[in-house]
Structure 1
Amino acid sequence: MKHKTITLASVITATMSIPTLVFPLTALAEDEPRDCGDRRCDDYIVITGDLMREPTKVVTDPKKPRLPLPSYDGAGFLKTIPGFSIGRKGGAGGDPSLRGMGGSRISIVDDGQHVYGTCGGRMDPPTAYIYPEAYDSITVIKGPQTVKYGPVGSAGTVLFEKDRHSFVEPGVEGRASVTGGSFERQDYIVELKAGDETHYLDLDVNQSSSDHYQDGDGNTVQSSYDRNNYNIALGWTPTDTSVIELAYGKSDGEAEYADRANKARVINNENVTLLTQFEFDSDLIREIEFQAYTNKNDHIMDQFDQGVNSGVNVRRKTSGGHFWLELTPSESLEATLGVDYMQSTHEGRGINPEFDNGLDDLLSKPFKDNMRYENMGIFIEADYALGGGNLLSGLRFDHWDSELFVAQTGKRSDDLISGFIRYEYLNGNNQYYLGTGHAQRIPDYWEIMKASPDNLSTKAFDLEPEKTTQLDIGWIYQANIEISTSLYYGKVDDYILVDSNTSKTSAYNIDATIWGGEVGITYPFTEQWSAQTTLSYSHGENDTQDTPLGQVSPMEGRVSVNYEGEEWTAGLFWRVVAAQDRVSIGQGNISGQDLAESSGFGTLAINGSWKHGDVVLVSFGIENLFDITYAEHVSRSGAGNDIPGSEPMFQVNEPGRTAWVKLDYTF
C-alpha cells in the first residue's frame, strides 16, 4: 500500500518537512548536514529538547517518546521544549508559559481551531483538550513573528497539526501505543488510516489516566486524572493536490488538583471542522484554503463528594474559520492573504446553597451569559528573496467587539494592529536572522473577570489592550556539530498584571521590559555516542513599579549523554534549575502569582529503547532517579492538598521517582 501526505504550499508549512533530529547518529568527517543512512534520524527518544533549526521555529514530532514523559495534555508536552515552563496544579491541567509570558500571550491553535478554556480558575487551559500524540507535528513560533494564525500570540504561537492523506492505491495502515508507569499511569492510543485514490478515513482513539502521585518525601499529591478522546475525519481527494475533509472530535475527562478543594468533575469538548485545500498550477495563485469550525467546552467543578454544597457549571462555545489565498507574483516573492473570524460566548450556572443542594440541583439551573466577544481579522504575510537571503514580513488588523453581562455590564470595541519584519540569511552551514515584531491583544476573559483596582466590586472591563514590541536575533549552525541560539528583547506597554495582594484579585495595566534567550548544542563524539545541552533564561521587569515581573521562571540547563546503536539506545539526562530570587509576591498573570523565592534543584533521569525493524519500538525511563522533593518556581499553592495520605504543602511538589515503559507498534 502506498500513500502520500498532502502538504500546504506555504512558507511556514513547507518547513515542517525538515526532520526533527535530536541526536546525531553519525559523526561526519566533513561539515555537512548529517545523513542517518538506513536509519531514520527521528526514531529515538527526545530528551534534552528539540533544537531550533529554523529562525524563530521549533518543529517536533509528538509521536516520538520523550523524556520527561509528558502528561496527557498539550501543556505537559510543551514542558519538554526549552523556553517553556508549566504552572503545576496536579497531574494535569498545567498552564504553559513561554519565556516568562503566560496565559493568552501564547496562541494555541488546535489544527486550525481556537479552543479556549472555561474555568475561571484555569482548570482547563486550551492545552487541556489536546492529546499531543494524536497529532503529526507541533510547531512553536517564538515571539510575535507571524500574523497568519488568528489573533497574534505576543510570546509565541503553538500549532498542533495533523496531516491529510492521498492514497495511491487502496490500503490500510495504523499505529498502536501503550504506556504504563508509576502511580498507575496508563495511556493507550490507536490510530487508523484507510483509503483509496479519492477517499480516506483517519481515526484515532486515545485514553490516559493516572492516580495521585507522590513527591520525593512520599507525600501524596492530589493529582489523579482520567481522559478519553475520539477523533474521526472523512476526506475526499478529487486530485493529487486537493482535499475536502469533514472531521469530528470529542473528549471527556475529569481531574483532581492539589491547589484547590474543587474537583473537575467534567472537562469535556466537542468539535466539528470542515477543511478545503486546493493547489493550482498557476503563475499567480498557488493555493487556497478554507476552514470552518465550531467547538463547545463543558466544565463542572464542585465539592459535592467532600460533603460541601458548592458547585459551578460553565460552558463556552467558539465558532470561526479562515480563508487563505497563497500567491506567487514572481519567482522571488511569495505572499499569503487571509481573513479570519471568531465568535466565542462564555456562560455559567451555579447553586445557591440556601435553596439548592447537590449535583442534580446544579444541573437543573439555567445558564446565564457571562461574556461574549467577536473578532474579525485580515492579514498579509510575505516572503521576498533579497540579497542572498529572505525578507519575511506580515501585517494584521483585528477588530474586536466584546460584551460583559455581569457586574457593571457593558460593551467595548477595539481596533488592533500587529506585524513583523525579519531578515534571514543562509551562508553555508550558518543561518542568521534578525527580526522585530509588534503584537496587540485585548484583555482576555480571565483578566476581565478580575476586579478593577479602582472599584473592587466591578470587573476589569476597562483594561487597555496589551502592546508588545520585541526584537529577535539568532544564529543557527548545522553540520557535524549543531548550534542553535536565539536572543530577544521586548517592551510591553500596558502589560496586564494580575495582583492578589488586595481583598479581591485585581488586574491593571503597567509597562514592562522582557529579555532573554535560549542556546542549544548537539555534539557527536563517535558514531554511537553524542551529547546535547540546552540553556534558557528569561528576565522580566515591572518598569512602572520598579520591581521584578512576577511568574518568570529562573535559568534552566539540560544536559544529556546518549548511546545509539542499530537497535538499542541508552541515555543519561541531567536537568538543573537555578534559584529564583527575582519575585513579586502576589503578582503574576491569569495562570498564577508569585508565592515566594524558590530554591534551585537538579534531577537525574535515565532512559533506553529497543527497536525491532520499523514495526516495534520499546522505550523506557526512570525520572527523578534520586527521588528528591522539589517544586518548580512557576507552581500553584498546594493548600488544597487534603486527600487521605496527604498534607497541605506550600507549593505543588513535582513527582518523586517515576518509572515508565512504552510500546509502539506500527502496521
Structure 2
Amino acid sequence: MKKMILVLLCTSVGYMSYGQEKTPTQKDSTKTKTIKLNEVFIQGNPKRDPVLTMIKTETEKNIVQPKNIADLFSYLNGFSLIKRGNYAIDPSFRASQYEQLNIQFDGGTKAMHACPNRMDPITTHVIPEEIEKIEVIKGPYSVRYGATYAGVVNLVTQKTNLQEKGWHGAVSSGYETNGNSLVTSGKLQYITDKYDITANGGYRDFGNYEDGAGLEIPAAFRSTDYGVKVGFNPNENQRLQLHWRQSFGRDVLHAGLPMDTDEDNSSIVSLDYKIRPASKLLDEFNAKAYYSYVDHIMTNRRRPNFMMTEAISTIDARTAGGKVEMTLTPSKEVTIFTGIDAFLVARDGSRNRLVKLNMMGMELPQPMNFTDKIWQDSYVNDFGVFTEAKYALNASTIFTAGLRYDLVVSDINDPENDFAALYDLEKRNEHNIAGTVSVKKYLSDQTILEVAYGRGVRSANMIERFINHFTVGQDPFEYVGNPNLKAEVNNQFEIGLKGKAKLSENATDVNYSFSGFYSDVNNTIVAVVDPNLSRKFMPNAQPQEVKRFTNIENTYKTGFEASVGVDIVHDLTFTTDVAYVYSKNEDLNESLPLTPPLTSNFELLFEKEEYWIRANYSITSRQDHISPSFREQETPGYNVFDVRLGVKPIKNVTLGLAALNIFDAAYNNHLNFAFRNLAGFTNEPINDPGRNFSAYIKYRF
C-alpha cells in the first residue's frame, strides 16, 4: 500500500494548473516517440483518472510462486480470496465477488468461465508473469469501463513498446516444497520504432499440498500457457496492437467441488487501436475488440460416487466485446469521455450420466444413460453507451460526473422441459441506468480528499437466470435459475483521504490512506429455499430442499480500509493495513454470504537496489457474522507469518526465497469452500497450505 501511495502522490499530487493548454508533440530527430494505449486507467493524471483508486505494482516482490493471477491479490488491502482448491480461485472485494466485480485485462478484455461451478474463472486464463500491475476502482465511480456494480479490477500486462529498442527477454524457474510444485516461464521481445513483438509461455505443475495439521489436500493441477503480442506504430500518434493467448489446464483437482477438471482450454484474441489526432476538440480516439472461447471438460472419475454414476460434462463459453471511446477537450477546464461498448456472453453444454447402481446400491441389469442440459444454450448480451466529464473547478479541485445506459438482452434457446414449465420463456430486454458524481480536492501538495457517490447496476448473470437443478453454491443445495430477476442496484457513498506527512521537520515520513464506504443495495439477488420445488437429481440425497434465485429488498454493506506507512530509516519501512466490511440481509436477519472478517497486515520492508527482504504478519479475526441460509459456518481467527527475500547477485539475475506460513498454522479462510464428494473428508472448510518453502531464479537479457 505504501508503494501505491507513493506512486499516486509522485505523479498526481500538487497544485497543478489543470487549465493548461495542450502542448504540441515535438518530434525527436533521432528517436520516434511511442504512444501508450488506453490500457491503463490510473495514469497519474488528475484530469483523467477515476477517484478512489488503488494500485499494486512490483508483483514479483510480493509473490514468489503465484499459482495463478488470484495469488497476486495477496496483501492488497480489502481483498480476500475464494478458494475451491489450488486452481479455481476468485478475488473478493468488500464482500463483492464474481460478476459483482468488473474484472478485465488491459482496460476491457474479458474471458468468462464455462463451468457453472467456476472451475475456470478469469484468473486462470492468463499467466501471472504477464501482469505488470493491478489497478482497482473501489466502487461504481466511473462509467467508462463497462457496467460496474461494486468496482473495477484492471489487470495490466507489460507495455512492450515503452521499453528500449532491440532484443529483450527473460527466463525463470521456481520450486515449492509443499506439493513438490514446479513453475517455469519465458519471454522474448523485439522492439523497433515501427513495430514490436512479444512471445511468452509458461508451465505449472502443482501437487497436492499439506495443511498445517499434516493433512494432504487434493489440489494438484497442471497448466500450460503461451501468448503472442504484436504492435505497429504507423506514426508517433497512432498504435495498433494484436494480442493472442491460449491456456490449457489439465487434471485439475477441486477439493471444494463435486467434480474435477480433465481439460480446460481457452483462447483469447484482442485488437486495440489508438490515435491522437491534430485536433483541438478531439484529444484521443480509442477502439478495442476481443473474443474468447473456453471449452471445459469435467468428470467425477476420481470421486467415490463414480462407482454408482459416471458423469462427464462438456461445456463451452464464448465471450465477445469491444469499446469505442473519444476523449474530447472542449475547453481548458473540461475533459469529456464518451463512447459505446459491448459485452456478449453465450454458453452451452451438457452433462452425460451413466447410472450403474440403483439407490439401494445394487447393480442395474443395464446401465441407464441420461443427458442433462447445463446452460440450455443461453446468452446474455450487454450494449452500453456512456459519457463522463471532468471539470477543473479551480487549480486544486476536480468535479466528475458520469452517466451510463445499458441494454441487456438475454434468451434461452434450448430449455429443459421442467425449466420451461416454470416460466414463460421469451427474449428479455432490460434497461439499466448507472451514474456517478465525485469531487477530488487537493488540500495541499501532500494531501488528497475524495468524496464520491456511484449508482452501480448489475443484471443477473447466467447462473442466476438459467441454471437448472445443479449444485453451484458453497452449500450442497440444488439451485434453479430465474430469468425474470430484477437487476441489482448498488447506491454507494464513499469518502477517502490519502497523503504524506512529517511529524516534525526532522521526523520520518508517514504515508496514510483511508476509505470509508456505505452501500445501500436494492434487488439483491440471493438463492432461498423454494418449497414448491423438489430435488431432481439423486432424489434421496440431502438436503431435500431446492433453492431458487430471487430478489430481496433490504440489504446493505459498510466498511473501511486504512493504511499507514512509516519510513523508519533509509531503506526500511513499516506499513500497517486494516480492512473491515459488515453486511446485512435484513429480510433474513443475517449476513450476506461470503463476507470476510476483519483483517490486518503488518509489513516490514528493507529494500536496496541489489536485494530486499519483506516480512508480513497477517491477522484474520474470527467471523461469527454469517449466513445460516447459505450453510456458512463460523470460522476462528488465525495468524500467518511470511518472509520473502530477493537478491540480484550479478547483473540481470534475480534470486528469490520465501518461507510461507512459518509457524505452520492450520487454518482456513472464511471464504474457503468445504470438501465435497471426497472419500475420507467430512463437510469441513478446506484448510490453506501449511509451512512452505519456495525458491525461484530469473534471468533477464
TM range (shorter): 0.7 to 0.9
Give SS of 2:129's match: helix
Structure-2 residue corresponding to 1:622: 659
Gaps of 5+ in 1: 18-52, 356-360, 588-593
CA contact (8 A) 1:556 1:576 kept: yes
Identical columns (%): 22
Structure-2 residue corresponding to 1:469: 491
Change (3 A) 1:264 1:202: same
**1:238 alignment partner AA:** P
What TM-score do you get using the length of structure 2 for normalisation? 0.82
Q: Alpha-carbon deviations, 1:565-598, whole Å to 9, x = none?
A: 44332232210011011111232xxxxxx52111
Instruction: Find 1:445's aligned residue among 437, 441, 462.
Output: 462
Structure-2 residue corresponding to 1:267: 264
Give SS of 1:133's match: helix
Q: Note the C-alpha offset of 1:90.
A: 0.8
Give SS of 1:127's match: helix
Residues 1:237 and 2:233 aligned together = yes
Q: Note the C-alpha offset of 1:131.
A: 2.1
CA contact (8 A) 1:310 1:353 kept: yes
Instruction: Find 2:574's aligned residue among 520, 528, 531.
Output: 531
Question: Which aligned pairs between 1:484-633 and structure 2 lie closer than 5 A?
Answer: 484-499=513-528, 503-510=545-552, 511-587=554-630, 594-612=631-649, 615-633=652-670
Number of positions where the alignment pairs a residue of Structure 1 with one of Structure 2: 614
Q: Alpha-carbon deviations, 1:352-410, whole Å to 9, x = none?
A: 4159xxxxx99x99998431122210001222111321112211100011002422243
Structure-1 residue corresponding to 2:322: 321
Q: Note the C-alpha offset of 1:563.
A: 2.5
Q: Note the C-alpha offset of 1:451.
A: 6.4
**1:7 alignment partner AA:** K
Structure-2 residue corresponding to 1:148: 144
Change (3 A) 1:403 1:70: farther
Change (3 A) 1:370 1:16: farther
CA contact (8 A) 2:65 2:176 kept: no
Residues 1:78 and 2:52 aligned together = no
CA contact (8 A) 1:143 1:470 kept: yes
CA contact (8 A) 2:184 2:203 kept: yes
Residues 1:278 and 2:275 aligned together = yes
Change (3 A) 1:616 1:3: farther
Structure-1 residue corresponding to 2:20: none
CA contact (8 A) 2:467 2:479 kept: no
Q: Note the C-alpha offset of 1:327.
A: 1.1
- Alpha-carbon distance in structure 2 between the residues aligned to 1:148 and 1:581: 38
Q: Note the C-alpha offset of 1:612.
A: 3.9
Structure-2 residue corresponding to 1:27: none
The structure whose Rg is larger is: 2
Question: Which aligned pairs between 1:306-385 and structure 2 lie closer than 5 A?
Answer: 307-308=306-307, 309-353=310-354, 369-385=376-392
CA contact (8 A) 1:167 1:195 kept: no
Q: Note the C-alpha offset of 1:167.
A: 7.5
**2:676 alignment partner AA:** A
Structure-1 residue corresponding to 2:446: 429
Structure-2 residue corresponding to 1:652: 686
Question: Which aligned pairs between 1:170-185 and structure 2 lie closer than 5 A?
Answer: 171-182=166-177, 183-185=179-181
Q: Note the C-alpha offset of 1:4.
A: 6.8
CA contact (8 A) 2:204 2:223 kept: yes
**2:664 alignment partner AA:** D
Structure-1 residue corresponding to 2:535: none
Give SS of 1:65's match: helix
Q: Alpha-carbon deviations, 1:262-314, whole Å to 9, x = none?
A: 11111211122221111123211111111111110111110235555111111
Gaps of 5+ in 2: 1-29, 357-367, 470-477, 502-508, 530-542
Q: Note the C-alpha offset of 1:244.
A: 1.2
Change (3 A) 1:137 1:7: farther
Structure-2 residue corresponding to 1:123: 119
CA contact (8 A) 2:226 2:245 kept: yes
Q: Note the C-alpha offset of 1:11.
A: 9.1
Residues 1:420 and 2:462 aligned together = no
Structure-2 residue corresponding to 1:7: 36
CA contact (8 A) 2:51 2:438 kept: no
Change (3 A) 1:495 1:185: same
- Alpha-carbon distance in structure 2 between the residues aligned to 1:79 and 1:529: 21
Change (3 A) 1:638 1:330: same
Q: Note the C-alpha offset of 1:449.
A: 3.5
- Alpha-carbon distance in structure 1 between the residues aligned to 2:236 and 2:635: 56
**1:15 alignment partner AA:** G
- Alpha-carbon distance in structure 1 between the residues aligned to 2:439 and 2:146: 23
Q: Alpha-carbon deviations, 1:63-104, whole Å to 9, x = none?
A: 52315x564322222233111111111111112211011121
**1:398 alignment partner AA:** D
CA contact (8 A) 1:213 1:220 kept: yes
Q: CA RMSD in A?
A: 2.9
- Alpha-carbon distance in structure 1 between the residues aligned to 2:301 and 2:558: 45
Instruction: Find 1:88's aligned residue among 77, 83, 88.
Output: 83
CA contact (8 A) 2:33 2:236 kept: no
- Alpha-carbon distance in structure 1 between the residues aligned to 2:258 and 2:585: 32
- Alpha-carbon distance in structure 2 between the residues aligned to 1:611 and 1:78: 25
**2:517 alignment partner AA:** Y
Farther off after superposition, 436-445 or 246-255 = 246-255
**1:492 alignment partner AA:** V
CA contact (8 A) 1:267 1:297 kept: yes
- Alpha-carbon distance in structure 2 between the residues aligned to 1:296 and 1:348: 13
- Alpha-carbon distance in structure 2 between the residues aligned to 1:8 and 1:614: 31
Structure-2 residue corresponding to 1:635: 672
Q: Note the C-alpha offset of 1:498.
A: 2.9
